[in-house]
Structure 1
Amino acid sequence: MTSDRPMRADARRNYERLLAAAAEVFAKEGTNAALDDVARYAGIGNATLYRHFPTRQDLVEALLTDRYDDLRATAERLLADRDPRAALITWLRSFITHMTTYRGLAASVMTVLRDPETELSASCKGMQAAAATLLAHAQESAVIRPDLTVDELLRLTNGVAIAAEGNPDETARLLRLLTEGLYHGCDSA
């Protein structure tokens, strides 16, 4: 919910309770969980939920904006790492963790991101720009292949997250296979 007016204290508390409940319910049941369950888990009526979040996309957007901002900040912090390849892989692990927090997240996010006017879209663009800088740093250090774009990297990493959702061992293996293919000097397909 975005507004030029600050929220009353009780409205702010309800908003925060709804976000916390959505995080819990979506983690257990996926992003397609019933919104009634979110309201019930928060101990708040449906009308209050829909006053704050008129659509599922509004709720997903509010829940994920901070996460994209955190990914952006993580990428910016990792730029100082002495090993640009390790820094990039650390960030990719963070990205996968984000993408696998809630079942069905990728599809929900794609729906929201189609509207470039959303707060989530702006937050995602900031995260992508920071990831591009981190990737460029690794490429300039000649440890990551120079022909890789940030869009390709994010799509590949998102594919790993979707393919191995719910299986940490498989996620680790697929990420390792992916990152081994990113080494500078490996044969291009």
Structure 2
Amino acid sequence: MPATPRRPRSDALRNRERLLEVAAQVFAEQGLDTAPAAIAKQAGVGVGTLYRHFPTREALIDAAYRHQLTRVCEKAPRLLADHPAADATRTWMEHFLDYVTAKSGMSAALDAVIASGVDPYADSRALLTDAVAALLDAGARDGSLRTDITSDDVLLLMGGVAHAVRHSTSAQARRLVDLLMDALTKGSTAS
């Protein structure tokens, strides 16, 4: 009978989580040249712990990117549990723009991951589509969002907003989200 794999210890899970948070921030702010030992130190763990979880720099970058994407996508159901669908959608869009801003700082690091033969974006579309679909479905049920807009429509629009935000102010980003929300709510049963 095969051995049942042991569950990771809670401190190991916390260390991994902290490493991913710090790595995403450091790669976004300082780029690819940051030494793994500096990331480990900032995360409050030894470099051996970093390499036990992530044997290569590319593995760390890939995991940090996927972790950030998963975190932003997991916000959708939590927001829906606490807010009406239109409010949850607006808040989720703001989180998404924060994520995109951080990811743009990681672009050189992500290019290195791609060059190593790993596709960090393999699951991105499905995760984002599922998050947006949950928001749109809730909005259709409560009448606060239009029913003729697809997840792909929203993701394409958000991609445009995200691209524009990289070269503008946060105030302009909020105005663009306002315009997008106007488009999502116009013609809804709640408007």
TM-score for both structures, normalised by structure 1 = 0.66
For the residue of structure 1 that corresponds to 2:146, the secondary structure is coil
Shift of 1:146: 2.1
Q: Deviations over 1:162-181 (max 9, x none)?
A: 22127322211221122222
Whole-Å separation in 2 of the counterparts to 1:71 and 1:132: 14
Whole-Å separation in 1 of the counterparts to 2:91 and 2:121: 25
Whole-Å separation in 2 of the counterparts to 1:45 and 1:105: 21
For the residue of structure 2 that corresponds to 1:92, the secondary structure is helix
Q: Pick the aligned partner of 1:181 from 174, 180, 183.
A: 183
Whole-Å separation in 1 of the counterparts to 2:80 and 2:15: 37
Partner of 1:83: 84
4+ residue runs over 6 A deviation: 4-14
Whole-Å separation in 2 of the counterparts to 1:8 and 1:138: 39
TM-score for both structures, normalised by structure 2 = 0.65
Partner of 1:112: 120
Q: Deviations over 1:77-106 (max 9, x none)?
A: 233356321121111111112221243457
**How many residues are treated as equivalent by the alignment?**
171
Mapping 1:1-189, distance limit 5 Å: 18-29=19-30, 32-36=31-35, 38-43=36-41, 52-56=54-58, 58-81=59-82, 83-105=84-106, 108=110, 111-114=119-122, 121=123, 125-165=126-166, 167-185=169-187
Letter in 1 for 2:32: A
Percent identity between the two aligned chains = 31
Whole-Å separation in 1 of the counterparts to 2:87 and 2:81: 11
Unaligned ranges ≥5, structure 1: 115-120
